[in-house]
């Protein structure tokens, strides 16, 4: 409840929270809008179609599987905060990394996969297994383009002049 209380006290009512299907009832306990609260109570058929519901489920699963490479989910839904649990892709085994986590959007290229860094996730609260991140959109001058390289099972994002930004 500490995370929900923090959201309620420190965010605007129109802020949107992205949470995984492992964190439910966020819209009720934190009184904030969410991308999808994956519960029966949150899926009235007049609110969205089954196809829209499934698309949101897919986008959420994709984001939490690899948040660094799926910043498009944050921009598509106008996400202001991400509520993550230990063990999800965002956190791994670290209870909450304290350095900002860069997030990149796939530019849709096929020969060389290109990504643009568009957002940072900044830790604002750590509470038990919960971590809450503020989404900070980067200004245009900081939105560099990187190519994705996979070698020996490790993924790296490298600028076109050869500087490596992220290895995971």
d(CA 144, CA 64): 23
Distance, C-alpha 141 to centroid of its chain? 22
**How high is the pLDDT of residue 24?**
61
In 11-146, which ranges are continuous DSSP H helix?
A: 26-29, 50-65, 71-77
Domain map of the chain by residue range? 2-102+120-137
- The continuous run of DSSP H or E covering 123 comes out as strand 114-127
> Residues 34-79: pLDDT tens digits?
777 766 555 556 677 888 888 999 999 999 888 888 999 999 999 9
46: burial class by Cβ within 10 Å (0-12, 13-18, 19+)? exposed
């Amino acid at each position: 409840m500490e995370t929900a209380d923090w959201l309620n006290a420190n965010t605007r009512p129109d802020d949107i929270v992205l949470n995984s299907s492992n964190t439910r009832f966020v819209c009720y306990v934190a009184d904030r809008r969410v991308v999808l609260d994956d519960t029966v109570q949150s899926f009235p058929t007049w609110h969205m179609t089954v196809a829209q519901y499934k698309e949101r489920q897919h986008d959420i699963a994709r984001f939490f599987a690899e948040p660094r490479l799926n910043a498009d989910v944050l921009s598509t839904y106008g996400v202001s905060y991400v509520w993550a649990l230990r063990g999800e892709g965002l956190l791994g085994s670290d209870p909450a990394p304290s350095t900002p986590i860069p997030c990149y959007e796939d530019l849709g290229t096929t020969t060389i996969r290109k990504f643009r860094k568009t957002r940072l996730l900044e830790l604002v609260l750590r509470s038990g297994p919960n971590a809450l991140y503020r989404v900070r959109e980067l200004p245009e001058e900081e939105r560099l383009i990187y190519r994705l390289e996979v070698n020996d099972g490790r993924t790296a994002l490298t600028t076109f002049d050869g500087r490596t930004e992220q290895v995971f």
